[in-house]
């Protein structure tokens, strides 16, 4: 794991025992800065603590994880942790703004690894569900998804969608990290988006990979 310091997390779930268990499972690379039992409390905790990541149950009171993703997914990383393997729940979560969707049956080591990746901007899904996401959004792909992007910008977008860092993208494409950052800025402007997380969701929706 890269040395990024402890990831600051808010845990939102309406079961106190489950929150305690997740807190214990996260380990030293994560610091729980807040807990919530419903969507409204989760949003308040996000506003209060400005966490790096929110681990959120899908079906909790006051709107559940979908409300949290819709209302705060643009400013913080939302990962849904749920028992639901329903296709509609998964796709609704992604559409609402969640960056990840993990099952509560995920082993602690796998959970920690997935959340660490999510904190670095990488979309994360339980292995049994990842193929479903790609299949569905490929089906939804429109004929001209690039909105006027140049071939190089589209290439950069593909790497961003895979969760690659700007440094890694630069090394892969033999350009500087600064040039990658400039490309991302131009892509955001052309697509009328504001941040990297929105680019990842855009790429998923358009079937760009």
CATH number at residue 62: 3.40.50.2300
Residues 86, 119: one domain?
Answer: yes
Q: Please report where in the chains the tokens 């559409």 appear, as a residue.
A: 95
Q: Which residues contact 35 (CB under 8 A, 6 or more apart)?
A: 10, 11, 12, 19, 23, 45
Q: Rounded mean pLDDT of 185-196?
A: 82
Q: pLDDT exceeding 90 applies to what percent of the chain?
A: 47
- The pLDDT value recorded for residue 166 is 86
Domain at 173, CATH number: 1.10.10.10
Q: Please report where in the chains the tokens 């429109």 appear, as a residue.
A: 142
Residues 67, 167: one domain?
Answer: no
Q: Rounded mean pLDDT of 124-142?
A: 67
Whether the full predicted model's pTM is greater than 0.85, yes or no, is no
- In order of 21, 30, 78, the CA distances from 70 in angstroms are 26, 24, 10
- The pLDDT value recorded for residue 2 is 42
- The pLDDT value recorded for residue 146 is 55
Q: Which of 132, 163, 192 is the last residue of a domain?
A: 132
Minimum mean pLDDT among 30-34, 61-65, 129-133, 148-152: which range? 129-133
Looking at every residue in the chain, the average pLDDT score rounds to 85
Question: Confidence class of residue 122 from pLDDT cuts 50, 70 and 90?
Answer: confident
Residues 75, 113: one domain?
Answer: yes
Residues 26, 110: one domain?
Answer: yes
Q: Provide the strand spans (E) within 41-149.
A: 53-56, 77-82, 100-103, 124-125
In degrees and rounded to multiples of 5, residue 19 shows phi and psi of -60, -40
CA–CA dist 27, 185 (Å, integer): 35
Q: Rounded mean pLDDT of 146-158?
A: 81
Q: Rounded mean pLDDT of 5-17?
A: 93
Domain that holds residue 174: 151-206
Looking at the 3D structure of the chain, how many domains does it have?
2
């Amino acid at each position: 794991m890269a040395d990024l310091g402890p990831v600051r997390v808010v845990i939102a779930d309406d079961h106190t025992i489950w929150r305690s268990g997740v807190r214990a499972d996260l380990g030293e690379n994560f610091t729980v800065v807040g807990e919530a039992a419903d969507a409204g409390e989760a949003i308040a905790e996000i506003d209060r603590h400005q966490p790096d990541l929110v681990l959120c149950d899908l079906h909790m009171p006051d709107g559940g994880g979908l409300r949290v993703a819709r209302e705060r997914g643009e400013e913080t990383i939302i990962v849904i942790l749920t028992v639901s393997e329903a296709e509609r729940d998964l796709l609704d979560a992604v559409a609402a703004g969640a960056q990840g969707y993990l099952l509560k049956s995920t082993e602690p080591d796998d959970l920690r690894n997935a959340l660490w990746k999510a904190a670095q901007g990488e979309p994360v899904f339980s292995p049994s569900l990842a193929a479903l996401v790609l299949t569905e959004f490929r089906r939804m792909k429109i004929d001209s998804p690039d909105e006027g992007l140049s071939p190089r910008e589209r290439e950069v977008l593909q790497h961003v969608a895979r969760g690659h860092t700007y440094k890694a993208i630069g090394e892969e494409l033999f350009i500087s990290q600064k040039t990658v950052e400039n490309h991302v800025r131009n892509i955001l402007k052309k697509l009328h988006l504001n941040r990297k997380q929105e680019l990842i969701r855009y790429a998923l929706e358009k079937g760009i990979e």
